[in-house]
Amino acid sequence: MERLQKYLARCGVASRRHAEQMILDGLVQVNGVTVREMGVQIDEALDIVAVDGKPVKLSSEMIYYILNKPQEVVTTCEDPQGRRTVLDLLPKDIRIYPVGRLDYMTEGLLLLTNDGDLANQLTHPKYKIAKKYWVVVKGYISDQMILALRKGIDLEDGPTMPAEIELLKRDPVQSDFFMTIYEGRNRQVRRMCAAVSLPVTKLRRVQVGSLKIGNLQPGQYRQLREEEVAALRKLLKGEGAG
């Protein structure tokens, strides 16, 4: 027996947390009956699970893609407003979903997979997976601003963890730097910079854990190598750093 949301994640339908929301929204059926509560357990050998009436089954193959998400693309499987989604950039014959999110105007590294367990771990706050961004801001970033970011910023949803800052260039017009965070809050980098009066003009994620964007251009993608997947699993077990 297995919890329904975990089974959906293992089937590659969505991350476990997104699967929970799908259940609450009444999108999931078990043996023809809509399920809306958490805690339901299913037997994959006996029960028929469907999403929007379409049966879902476990995939025999785990698939992992890395995408350099361009600007003006949404990190969802579909968009009610008709905007391009990250899945529009990938082959149509694979069933995978994005791990975490990048906002509409942020570009850079995005992992997509049907491995629900790995996706859940990579996005779970307790693992504190490092996410490194190249940040361009308007104006001069002072030593005091850098120190504030390194200490952590008190945002409306609570104080952030300390960030790592690697300064690349600064002048009165524009500054750019690498910023590494260990959380996955909504628009976190932009909000942290705004809190110290630094409007972000360009934002690109270049690394997640041990996975780096490399020379992928915006809109380009590739499958992960076996050793890259193994390195992510090793990192999650606390056996190595990115």
Instruction: Provide the annotated active-site residues.
Output: 103
User: Where would I find the H helices in the chain?
Assistant: 4-10, 16-24, 116-123, 143-151, 188-195, 226-236
C-alpha torsion 119→153→138→176, nearest 10:
-60
Cα 202 to Cα 210: distance, rounded to the nearest angstrom: 23
CA Rg, the chain, in Å? 19
The runs of H, that is alpha helices, within 25-102 are none
The one-character DSSP state at 125 is G
Q: Tokens 């027996």 identify what position?
A: 1
Give SS3 for 121.
helix
What phi and psi, each to the nearest 5 degrees, are found at residue 135?
-120, 130
d(C-alpha 14, C-alpha 69), whole Å: 19
Q: Which residues are bridge partners to 159 per DSSP?
A: 154
